[in-house]
Amino acid sequence: MTNNRKLAVWLLTVSTLIIVLIVYGGWVRLTRSGLSIVEWNVVTGVVPPLGADAWESEFAKYRQTPEYQIVNFGMPLEEFKFIYYMEFGHRLLGRITGLLFVGPLFYFLFRRTIPRTHIPSYLGIGLLFALQGLVGWLMVKSGLSDRPQVNHLRLTLHLSCALALLAACLWRAFDYLSSMSFPPNLSPTTRRLCAGLFVTICLQIAAGGLVAGLKAGHVSDTFPKMFGVWLPQGLWAMQPPLANLFDNAVTIHFQHRFFAFAVLAVAIALFAVARNAAPLKNGRYLLLGLLGVQIGLGIATVLLHVPLGLASLHQAVAVALFVTTLFLCHRADGYRETTANTT
């Protein structure tokens, strides 16, 4: 196996675990499990409670939280164990993913497998891992004080950091896997549409994070109208007006459902413009297919009052769209020869 392929396999493995973390994290949120562990113990936190006394100690800490007192008052110990293990599994998988990045990184650096010019990018990925852990704890901490839910802005930042981490790992892996140079037949319009589509999908996923954090998906269960009208009341109820874009559940729900069609418009434009572009020929069909499925899932999630399975699948397809668009952007960027060191 060539050094390029070794590095690519490593980064793709890390990326796969990041994807699992994102989707699993959504399930943790949907099952209201994320606030079950009220402390962040980096070392001792890798072992779950052992024995009845340890479980009772953890349960006693949880009973002091707003979530227990307002939402889950009277919850039996067995139900607490379920949500505890859900959150514990997510944290443990996060640690494993971090170690799977750091361990091989030192090995490859020691063997001088990584090109010297790539080292700064790996340091940046390492910093993103650290930031992701910090933001994750600050997010959980925000739900342990006076209200039984995490801050929606911190949740969205946590999701955005995970996507940035995924993009950084995948882009470098795509570099290592590139094996041929594409002729420069992509028009500037095609490249701009690829970049524009990636930006709009990132914005739409961030808006989805706000929807999840504010539980704005429950605001309206009709489509395409909200509350029987096209422009519902209360869109600009908050002052200053900019606050509505981040804190108003009605506004956030409204912009998330209709911005999806802006994403679709950009995707259709890219599909049309890139019909003769060899690097994008197959990926554009996958892109449109995923986007159609995603819009359908979003509509069904609203109409069916946000069932857990559909909501989780909606998030998973969003990540698939993100990865597909990133891949198309890399192809549009053109192949730049990337050779790992052989010494």
- DSSP for 103-116? HHHHHHHHTT-S-G
Please check whether residues 167 and 214 belong to one and the same domain: no
- The domain boundary, picked from 159, 177, 195, lies at 177
Whole-number Å distance between alpha carbons of 232 and 69: 34
Confidence category of residue 147, pLDDT binned at 50, 70, 90: confident
Under 8 Å CB-to-CB from 338, ≥6 apart: which residues?
A: 4, 115, 175, 176, 178
Task: Determine the structural domain holding residue 163 and report its residue range.
Answer: 1-177
Average pLDDT on 162-171 reads 96
Q: Is 40 helix (H, G, I), strand (E, B) or coil?
A: coil
pLDDT(13) > 70: yes
pLDDT(339) > 60: no
- The domain boundary, picked from 177, 200, 230, lies at 177
In whole angstroms, how far apart are CA 110 and each of 3, 51, 107, 114, 342? 14, 42, 5, 9, 13
C-beta separation of 254 from 216 below 8 A: no
Please check whether residues 150 and 257 belong to one and the same domain: no
- Which range, of 71-80, 139-148, 183-192, averages the lowest pLDDT? 183-192
Please check whether residues 156 and 214 belong to one and the same domain: no
Quote the percentage of the chain above a pLDDT of 70.
94
User: Given its phi and psi angles, is residue 319 left (phi above 0), alpha (psi -120 to 50 degrees) or beta?
Assistant: alpha
Please check whether residues 16 and 156 belong to one and the same domain: yes
Average pLDDT on 222-247 reads 91
Backbone angles phi, psi at 336, to 5 degrees: -120, 120
Please check whether residues 62 and 160 belong to one and the same domain: yes
Q: How far apart are the first and last CA of the chain?
A: 14
Average pLDDT on 324-334 reads 87
pLDDT of 334: 66
- The domain boundary, picked from 147, 177, 207, lies at 177
C-beta atoms surrounding 262 within 10 Å: 13
pLDDT(340) > 60: no
